[in-house]
Chains A and B, each alone.
Chain A
Amino acid sequence: AQSVTQPDIHITVSEGASLELRCNYSYGATPYLFWYVQSPGQGLQLLLKYFSGDTLVQGIKGFEAEFKRSQSSFNLRKPSVHWSDAAEYFCAVTGTYKYIFGTGTRLKVLA
């Protein structure tokens, strides 16, 4: 069955520290993978996506993600977190008509 797992429900980091949010997926074919961010009271906004090619993809706001087929992972990273990055982050996979979202990781940033 298709699924997305985000094992960390909450993550707290200090401003300026590096960040890695984990995402594991289960999908029978080549997946299309996405990371979205949801700020409080807002809808979701796309950070980056992976379809094929270079396994390291760059997104907006200084985020990047690496696709590792052998590990079925698509982890999101940022070298230096800013206070404005506090939000909820969702990993998603699709390949047909349905998007499957992970349960989200809520990021808290300490000043």
Chain B
Amino acid sequence: DSGVTQTPKHLITATGQRVTLRCSPRSGDLSVYWYQQSLDQGLQFLIQYYNGEERAKGNILERFSAQQFPDLHSELNLSSLELGDSALYFCASNGGGTYNEQFFGPGTRLTVL
């Protein structure tokens, strides 16, 4: 158990819909990272937050957004969903430095029908 929790575990929705994925980092970790893992794209870095502020952006679509709240939990919002958004979404956390190990949550499996 990494100490990172993600909800929900599974999510099934329809094209055009909007969903919110939630992540609670390990106790004391200020940084949260979001990743998308799909069969054809592998593990793609989406975005990083540090203590409530966006720190780095990766291959995140404009239809996707994220935020980190004062209690340090984070939410990833996916809107106007397409079939190709079906994937595993992972959240990871650490103390802040990317040279530090990232602790991964169990992921949320999103299926868009």
- Chain A contact-residue range equals 20 to 34
Closest B-chain residue to A44, C-beta based? B104
Contact of A32 among B43, B98, B105 (CB under 8 A): B98
The answer to whether the Cβ of A94 comes within 8 Å of any Cβ in the partner chain is yes
The answer to whether the Cβ of B95 comes within 8 Å of any Cβ in the partner chain is no
- Asked if A94 and B42 make an inter-chain contact with CB atoms under 8 angstroms apart, the answer reads no
Contact of B56 among A42, A44, A98 (CB under 8 A): A98
| Total A-B residue contacts, Cβ distance less than 8 Å | 54
CA gap between A99 and B92 in the complex, in Å: 11
How many B residues touch A, CB cutoff 8 Å? 21
Q: Which residues of B contact A32 (CB under 8 A)?
A: 98-99
Q: Which residues of A contact B35 (CB under 8 A)?
A: 101
Q: Which residues of A contact B99 (CB under 8 A)?
A: 32, 51, 94
User: What is the 8 Å Cβ interface bit string for chain A, positions 82-111, against chain B (1 contact, 0 not)?
Assistant: 000000001000111111111110000000
The answer to whether the Cβ of B45 comes within 8 Å of any Cβ in the partner chain is yes
Q: Which residues of B contact A25 (CB under 8 A)?
A: none
User: What is the 8 Å Cβ interface bit string for chain A, positions 73-85, against chain B (1 contact, 0 not)?
Assistant: 0000000000000
- Asked if B101 and A46 make an inter-chain contact with CB atoms under 8 angstroms apart, the answer reads yes
